[in-house]
């Protein structure tokens, strides 16, 4: 059964791979599961057909036979549970890898997304410059703790897992800010993940959509 995911028909970040379909593409590539993509526009993702699959009108959906899922964390976990390669076999190690998925999504990513909100939704406000500094402090608090925990390990807990996949994708959004460079082991962690063949295939696949929409 070939799953179908959704992705933007025209990349909002000009092919940088920051949209959440990248997480699902990467997970599917890691486990060797082929997939199909339904392209969606900013308009059509607000329409009933898409909202039936994603009640919040966000970009990401996943269909596999009768199953319809939304939320990048839930989709990546579903893939990781049904295929080898993204979660350890040991039960405790598996729970810990899943804890890193939640940490990526709930503890590390929120201040990083706040930075995007402050720039893109409130960029014209008089408070933006001062607030950006506050948000950067909150981000650095998380990065510091993450950097200490990672130490000189390759991955967060043993072998590469779905937890690393989610964490790396959350951190990638920081590249333009320069904040990642203040934590050399985190910058290296992200670079190391980007060398994975599955990441490269997923990145190329999302970039191809952008290139096609540009040339069309």
Minimal distance, residue 58 CB to a second copy, in Å: 7
Q: Which stretch binds a second copy (CB under 8 A): 21-29, 144-152, 171-179, 185-193?
A: 144-152
x-or-dash pattern for a second copy, window 7-46, by CB under 8 A?
A: ----------------------------------------
Under the binding rule (CB under 8 A), the answer on residue 83 touching a second copy is no
Q: Which of residues 119-138 bind a second copy (CB under 8 A)?
A: 121-122, 125-127, 130-131, 134
Minimal distance, residue 49 CB to a second copy, in Å: 15
**Per-residue burial over 140-173, b = 16 or more CB atoms within 10 Å of its CB, e = otherwise:** eebbeebbeebeeeebbbeebbbbbbbbbbbbbb
d(Cα 114, Cα 12) in Å, to the nearest integer? 17
Q: Which stretch binds a second copy (CB under 8 A): 3-11, 23-31, 96-104, 174-182?
A: 96-104
Choice between 79 and 190, CB closer to a second copy: 79
Under the binding rule (CB under 8 A), the answer on residue 67 touching a second copy is yes
Q: Residues interacting with a second copy, by CB under 8 A?
A: 51, 55-58, 66-75, 77-78, 92, 95-96, 98-99, 101-103, 105-107, 109-110, 113-114, 121-122, 125-127, 130-131, 134, 142, 145-146, 148-149
């Amino acid at each position: 059964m070939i799953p179908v995911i959704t992705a933007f028909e025209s990349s909002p970040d000009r092919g940088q791979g920051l949209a959440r379909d990248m997480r699902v593409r990467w997970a599917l590539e890691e486990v060797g599961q082929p997939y199909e993509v339904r392209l969606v526009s900013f308009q059509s993702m607000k329409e009933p057909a898409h909202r039936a699959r994603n009640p919040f009108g966000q970009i990401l959906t996943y269909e596999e036979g009768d199953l319809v899922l939304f939320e990048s964390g839930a989709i990546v976990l579903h893939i990781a549970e049904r295929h080898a390669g993204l979660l350890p076999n040991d039960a405790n190690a598996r729970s810990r890898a899943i804890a890193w998925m939640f940490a990526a999504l709930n503890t590390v990513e929120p201040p990083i997304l706040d930075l995007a909100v402050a720039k893109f939704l409130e960029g014209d406000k008089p408070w933006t410059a001062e607030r950006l500094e506050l948000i950067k402090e909150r981000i650095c608090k998380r990065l510091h703790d993450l950097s200490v925990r990672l130490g000189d390990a390759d991955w967060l807990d043993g072998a590469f897992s779905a937890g690393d996949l989610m964490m790396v994708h959350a951190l990638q959004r920081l590249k333009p800010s320069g904040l990642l460079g203040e934590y050399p082991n985190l910058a290296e962690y992200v670079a190391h993940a980007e060398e994975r063949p599955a990441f490269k295939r997923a990145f190329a696949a999302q970039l191809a959509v952008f290139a096609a929409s540009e040339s069309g």
